[in-house]
Amino acid sequence: MITRKEVERVAKLARIGISKKEEEKFARELSLILDYVKKLKEVDISKTLPTSHSIEIENVTREDHVQISKKLGRAGKEKIAEKLLKLAPETKDSYLKVKSIL
């Protein structure tokens, strides 16, 4: 159990001002946290293997690859790219030119 005196001492060390009401509140809350930690320490984990991740999850992303639309074909795609480039305020070669953000 954390006492008000301990909370007051920690507050002084941290150089924060807290009221008597807050001292009582923090003493209760910190005591509850320590009780919970005590319960966690009682859990038997002797048969649990160490892991680097708590949940076994696999990467489900796929490799990116370029595909030309079957409906448009390469020529149709190039026409769309040209139209989009014409709409851009600034371009260089076949790229959009944007302001640096870093």
pTM exceeding 0.75: no
Measured CA to CA, the distance from residue 37 to residue 3 in angstroms comes to 17
Walk me through the domains of the chain, giving residue ranges and CATH numbers. 4-42 (1.10.20)
Residue 74, amino acid = R
Q: What pLDDT is attached to residue 78?
A: 80
- Residue-wise pLDDT for 44-86, tens only, equals 988 888 877 777 777 788 888 877 667 766 777 788 888 888 8
Residue 45 Cα distances to 50, 51, 57, 71, 75, angstroms:
10, 12, 21, 59, 63
Q: What pLDDT is attached to residue 81?
A: 83
- Residue-wise pLDDT for 86-100, tens only, equals 899 999 888 889 888
Measured CA to CA, the distance from residue 31 to residue 102 in angstroms comes to 46
Structural contact between residues 26 and 7, judged by C-beta atoms closer than 8 angstroms: yes
